[in-house]
Amino acid sequence: MIMSPTIPYLHLPADRIGVTPENHTLPADIRLGPVALQVNDLDASLNFYTQVIGLRVDHQDHQGGQRIARLGTPDGHILLELREKKGARYAPHRGRLGLYHIAVLLPTRADLGRFVQNALSLGAHVGQSDHHFSEATYLRDPDGLSVEVYRDRPRDEWRVTEEGEIIGGSDPLDLKALKDAAGDLPWTGVPDGTSIGHLHFYVGDLDEAARFYHAGLGFPKVTWSMPTALFLGAGGYHHHLGVNTWAAGSAPSSEDDARLLSWDLILPNQTTLDRTVDSLQSGGFDVTATPDGPLFTDAWGIAVRLRTA
């Protein structure tokens, strides 16, 4: 991403990692909750997300004539909600503002190695990149929506600048090392401990995105020197959110597109939720009350719901 003199991540105190917002900062113990996607063919999507990605179906239902499925980990932690809308248009690459990719975080390198071997055996096209702070693979679902599956490197392997900016890269993955890490155990789907590690969005303007996600929502900036992308993360994480302008000039995803419907931000307590709501409203962002928590929408129609753990 950036060519700059770097030092080991752990050589800096935690409070020097990133740029914190002026008024409200999210604590380290937030997490990303279920992500809701609109898809064209629920059966095709279920096949991809169970057989290739390895999620388990927790529940299927009909709501108002719409088929819905919720998927997650073996212990019932929900990561994804799929909502079928027949005729939803295929998501063109960099053709709509909104979702760039969701990212499924596996607990270990061995898990990632087994995932890659299984995906390749199924004939899936698997993109790959070593980001230095993580090892990542990339796939597209039947609607053209992008899914990253990755594992984090330990923080003592991360690099930062003296200013506290986390530095990554995009080098080829060491596929042999991943295969060796996988060992002889077969892939049986995502294990317990798998989570939504981060989300990455196409936006129209980085300053406006920072006004919502940094100043309003409260995520510190952790990588900010790129001219066309910004990364934000709580607790010194390499990023919970990425935003980029690589599709700038495109229209936001519409109701007729396969798309991101919403994502949940899980906060540790009601006090943090109330402060986050106040911060967003003070920034001029309107709130919509829903049965599951207050909902805010950015300038490109990306909706985040705030909930407590």
Domains and CATH numbers, the chain: 7-308 (3.10.180.10)
User: Quick one: pLDDT at residue 65?
Assistant: 86
CA quadruple 301, 303, 68, 257: dihedral, nearest 10: 20
pTM reported for the whole predicted model: 0.96
pLDDT averaged per 10 residues, the chain (length 309): 78 96 98 98 99 98 94 98 98 94 99 98 98 98 99 98 96 95 96 99 98 99 98 99 97 97 99 99 97 98 98
Angstrom distance (rounded) from CA 136 to CA 149: 6
Q: What is the crossing angle of helices 109-121 and 175-182, to 10°?
A: 100
Whether residue 79 contacts residue 55, with contact meaning beta carbons closer than 8 Å, is answered with: yes
Whether residue 15 contacts residue 27, with contact meaning beta carbons closer than 8 Å, is answered with: no
